[in-house]
Structure 1
Amino acid sequence: MASSKIPLVTLFLVVSAFYLQIIEAETEQHASLKLNSRILQESIITQINENPKSGWKAAMNPRFSNFTVGQFKRLLGVKPTPKKELEITPIVTHPKSLKLPSEFDARTAWSQCSSIGRILDQGHCGSCWAFGAVESLSDRFCIHYSMNISLSVNDLLACCGFLCGSGCDGGYPLSAWRYFIHHGVVTEECDPYFDDIGCSHPGCEPAYPTPKCVRKCVDGNQLWRESKHYSVNAYRINSDPHDIMAEIYQNGPVEVAFTVYEDFAHYKSGVYKHITGDVMGGHAVKLIGWGTSDDGENYWLLANQWNRSWGDDGYFMIRRGTNECGIEDDVVAGLPSTKDLVREVADVDANVDADASF
C-alpha cells in the first residue's frame, strides 16, 4: 500500500514558497506605500537642520509641496550611459600648470550672457538630461560667439528619439551632445518648451507624455532648418576637479549628472552632501562655478531647473573634491559650431566694430 506521507523536502519547499509569496507581497505593498508618500518630510528637515555637521539647511520647498515620492522620481531622468558609448567618447584633460582662481562664477565672468543666470522649470517631465545640455550649449554660444540665444529643449526632447533614450521618461546626457553635432538644435523662440505650466496649479499631475516632434517653428516667419545651431563635438571631462574647473573656466558651463537622494528635495542653502534617505534616481544639471564656504568646505555651484521656488533661488552648492553623489564622474560638454552661423557671426562682428569706432 502506497504511503500518503508528503516527503519532508517537498513540504519544506511548499512552505518556503508560501512564505516567499507573503514577503514579496509585503515588499510590493511597502514599495507602493513609499511611492505614494510625500517626498517632503518634517523628520528629514529636522535631521538635517539639527545636525551641526550637515553643512546645509533643509526646508519645505514649495516646488514639491504636493509631490509624492513617485512623482519626484519621475523628474530624475538620467539613464546610465551604456559602457560602449563611454569607451568611444574622448575624455578631455587640461594642463595642471593652468592657474585657476579659488572661486569662480560664470554669471559674473561672462555677465553679458543672460542665459547663464536663467533658472528654468522642467515641469512634469523627466527631461533634466535635455535641459542640462541645451542650457550649457546656449551659454557657450554667448561665451564663444557673443550670441545671446536661448536654445530649444523641446527640439532635443521630442526629436532625438530612442537615440537619446525615452524623452520624458529619461535620457542620456552624452547622446544629447551628439544630437547637437549631427542635427543641431533650434531656438526656444522657434520651438518653445511644451510644458510651460510648471507645477504651480492645483492637482498638478506630473505624468506628461513626451511631446511629438513637429520640425516646424511656431512662428510661420521662421524656418526650422535656418534656426538650427550646432556643436562641433561631444566629450567627457576627466573626473579630476582641476580638469572640470579648467573646462568651465576656459569654455563655459558644463552638464553634470549625479545621484539624488530623498534629502536633496529638501535643499535650501549651504553646501549639500547626502545625509539621509533612499536613492531616488539620476539627475542632470548645469555646473557654473566653484568656491569655498565660510566653514572651509569646497563646493561646486550649480543651476537646477526646478524653478526658483526650489533651493537657493533655483541654485545649489554641493561638496567639491570628494565625488559627492558621483558629481565628478559624469561631466559632459561640447564646443559650439559656426555651422550655418556665418551671417549671424558677421552681424555680431559688424556691431562690435561699430561700437569700437565710437
Structure 2
Amino acid sequence: MKRIKFHVIASKPVSKLKLNSKILQDSIIKKVNENPKAGWEATRNPRFSNYTVGEFKYLLGVKPTPKKELMGVPVVTHAKSLKLPSSFDARTAWPQCSSIGRILDGCDGGYPINAWQYFKRHGVVTEECDPYFDDIGCSHPGCEPAYPTPKCVKKCVKGNQLWTDSKHFSVSAYRINSDPHDIMAEVYTNGPVEVAFTVYEDFAHYKSGVYKHITGDIMGGHAVKLIGWGTGADGADYWLLANQWNKGWGDDGYFKIRRATNECGIEEDVVAGLPSTKNLVREVAGIDSVKDASL
C-alpha cells in the first residue's frame, strides 16, 4: 500500500496587533496585481469586508491529522492506462447532482478523513429528516461570535419518519494517492473529492485566474471540494474547486489553483468515500453492524 503524508502547514502564533488588523490589505492587492507572473487577480472580496485577521483565521480549522488516525486508512491509486480528458467539470458531467456546485458558508474545521469515517461508521440522516435550517432560517449567521453546537436529539422533525430509517452510509472512506493522475482519475470515475491545503493572506483576496501563493503569512489549513481541472489561457494547468465562503468571495464562490505543482500542499491530502445507494441501518439496539452494504 502506498503511503502519503499530510502537508498542511500549521500556522505560527500571530501578534495581537496583527490579529486585530483587517485581513484585506491594499498592499497585498497591489503586489499581486502588479506582478506579471502572478497568473491571478486580487480584489477586496465582499465576504471579508469587515473581517480581521483573527476572524479570518477562525475559518481555517483543518488540522494536521494525527498519525494514529491514518493507520488502516487505505490509499487509492488508479491505472495509468485510464485515458483522461484535458479538462473536466463534475457539474456538467453529472448535471442531475445539483449539490456538486453548491457553495456553502462554513466555519471552523477539523480532520477531513474523520468526517468520511463518521459517514461510514455512523451514517447521516437526510435533509428532510433533520433540516440544516429550521422554520425561521439560520438564527446565528456568520462565524462570530461562536455558539455551542445544539444537542443532537436523534429524532426526525416529522413524526412519520424514523431516524434510523432516514440514515445513509458510506461504504468506504479512503485517501487518494497524491499523484495528479490518481486525483484526476478519482474525480473522473467517482466524483468530487475533498482536499486540504495551506492558506496564506493573499488567498483571501482571490478574484479570478489560477492561484499561486505570492505574498503574506500563513493563516492556517482549509478543506474544499475539488470538482475538476483544466488549462488556462496562459497555459497554466489548474484544479477547479468549490470553496465554502459563499458567493461573495472569489469567482462566484469558486477558485482555480495550480495543478501538478502541489501548490500550497493541495495534492498532499485528498480524501473521499463511496456512498451506498441503499438505506443502511447500523445503530440498531446498540450494534454497529451493516444491514446491507452493497452499492
> Is this a same-fold pair by TM over 0.5?
yes
| Equivalent residue letter for 2:39 | G
1:54 to 38, 62, 87: 38
TM-score, normalised to structure 1, is 0.71
Unaligned stretches of 5+ residues in structure 1: 1-27, 127-169, 343-358
What is the alpha-carbon root mean square deviation over aligned residues? 2.1
Q: Which residue matches 2:256?
A: 317
Aligned to 1:88: 72
Change (3 A) 1:60 1:206: farther
1:43 and 2:27 aligned = yes
Where 1:275 maps in the other structure, the secondary structure is: coil
Corresponding residue of 1:160: none
Asked which structure has the greater RCO (Cα within 8 Å, sep 6+), the reply is: 2
| Residue 118 (structure 1) shift | 1.4
What is the TM-score when the length of structure 2 is the normalising length? 0.85
Q: Percent identity over the alignment?
A: 79
* Partner residue in 2 for 1:107: 91
**How far apart are 1:220 and its partner, in Å?**
3.2
> C-alpha deviations, 1:200-258, integer Å up to 9, x for none?
7xxx7342333332222233333221211100011000000000000000000001111
**Hey, what's the Cα distance between the residues in 2 that align with 1:285 and 1:318?**
12
- Secondary structure at the aligned position of 2:175 is classed as strand
Contact 1:121–1:198, Cα closer than 8 Å, also in 2: no
Give the greater-gyration-radius structure (CA): 1
Structure 2 counterpart SS, 1:334: strand
Take 2:36 and 2:147, find their aligned partners in 1: how far apart are those partners? 40
User: Which residue is equivalent to 1:138?
Assistant: none
Answer yes or no: is the 8 Å Cα contact 1:260–1:282 preserved in 2: yes
Does residue 220 (structure 1) correspond to residue 204 (structure 2)? The answer is no
Displacement after TM superposition at 1:341 (Å):
6.3
Structure 2 residue 104 is the aligned partner of structure 1 residue 120:
yes
2:236 counterpart residue number: 297
Instruction: Determine helix, strand or coil for the equivalent of 2:15.
Output: helix
Task: State the distance in 2 between where 1:49 and 1:198 align.
Answer: 36
- CA–CA distance in structure 2, aligned partners of residues 33 and 199 of structure 1: 26
Give the distance between the partners of 2:140 and 2:206, measured in 1 at CA.
Answer: 19
Say whether the 8 Å CA contact 1:63–1:199 is kept in structure 2: no
Gaps in structure 2 of 5+ consecutive residues: 1-12, 282-295
Q: Deviations over 1:16-57 (max 9, x none)?
A: xxxxxxxxxxxx9x7001111111111111111111111001
Aligned pairs, how many? 267
Partner of 1:239: 178
